[in-house]
Chain A
């Protein structure tokens, strides 16, 4: 029962993209179509489940002071495995996602889950946390990808949706569309849910990855 709760936590309650606002780069960059979103989401899920498992198993052996480099090495190993598998079996996905496959290493979601969950919990809950967070991320990317593909290309999963009278707004599958779609998604979520999102969520991960810590330090200056 508890495992299901962990799963649900990642999928909805603490959805990494829409609620914690982590891993913005892939969320905005690869969601030009629904299928790309799913590809990226599932690759990240695989890395997340792998790294959560190994880090949870090693949690008693990794000294606290060097834990971040140790986590990054484990994550990078899984990213390399995924990179090779994609290249071998689904080269089209590998080509579409391009540089964002190796960049899964610096996706805050994975490091955040290693730091916040896997390094403190047993293996089974860590695996379920990985699956839940990963699927939550995939779901968010699928939402973004579907909307952008529909408006920008008039298709979904490559199937034509509208008649010939519909002329797609190409800007939606170009970079501006990524910012716009995500901004509107977050705005709608703010309107219809209680928790308000006012900043990217790196604060929730307590790591050095960027925004939030920057803000605190900057506030001190």
Chain B
């Protein structure tokens, strides 16, 4: 239990995927204009990353290691993740229309989100077991959600500020992301 709490705290705060590890920057900057959409994206990422972490762990342990083909890790993982996202989409469409309506639009965006593949690779590197891997995936995604929602709040404020012409839009978002990132540096010594 104690290990799991350490993993969760570490993944959410100390090594936040977006602000410290630089994984998943594209959706972080793209889908963070409004707090509500940021929450939707975050929920979809939490869902996919938990499932993908478990699936890639199983593929690694049951397929790649027994047949000694670990060098095919990158290819297998990206294909598993791509297939998985499609699969989740089909299942959601069939069984839970309301959930599909809430998360569906974000699902295709997640396949090439580097956070998902990143979490899968980190799980293998750190030698987590199935439970730890799934928890790490979910916690890292929760960290992503925390960052994107906080940042969406900052950006909603930016809309009303007086900003120099050449910094408007994308550049000022990056500079404010730097400030949010400085705040997260404060968690460095936590664990």
Contacts and interface: CB of A to CB of B under 8 A. Distances in A.
Interface of A: 21, 24-25, 28-29, 69, 72-73, 76-77, 79-80, 83-84, 99, 102-103, 105-108, 111, 171, 174-180, 182-184, 186-188, 190-191, 196-200, 202, 207-215, 217-218, 221
Nearest to A214: B31
Interface string B100-142: 0000011011011110011001100100000000000000000
Contact of B178 (A99, A177, A186): A177
Interface string B73-101: 11100110010000000000000000000
Given A187-B164, A209-B112, 10 more contacts: A28-B25, A73-B79, A102-B74, A111-B112, A178-B178, A183-B167, A187-B167, A190-B167, A210-B112, A211-B29
Contacts of A106: 78, 112-114, 117
Contact of A103 (B19, B117, B173): B117
A213 B109 contact: yes
9 contacts: A28-B22, A76-B75, A99-B118, A175-B181, A183-B175, A197-B170, A197-B171, A199-B169, A209-B113
A183 B173 contact: yes
A183 B167 CA distance: 8
Nearest to B105: A217
Interface of B: 19-27, 29-31, 33-34, 37, 41, 71-75, 78-79, 82, 105-106, 108-109, 111-114, 117-118, 121-122, 125, 164-175, 177-179, 181-182, 184-185
B171 A99 contact: no
B51 to A, nearest CB: 18
Given A102-B117, A210-B31, A218-B37, A179 B105 contact: no
B181 A218 contact: no
A186 B170 contact: yes
A178 B28 CA distance: 15
Given A183-B174, A190-B167, A208-B108, A24 B78 contact: no
A88 to B, nearest CB: 12
A221 to B, nearest CB: 7
B84 to A, nearest CB: 13
A199 B169 CA distance: 7
Contacts of A191: 165-166
A153 B172 CA distance: 25
Contacts of B113: 106, 209-210
A187 B74 contact: no
B79 A69 contact: yes
B26 A211 contact: yes
A77 B106 CA distance: 27
Given A108-B26, A202-B26, A214-B41, A208 B111 contact: yes
Contacts of A177: 178
A213 B113 CA distance: 13
Contacts of A111: 112
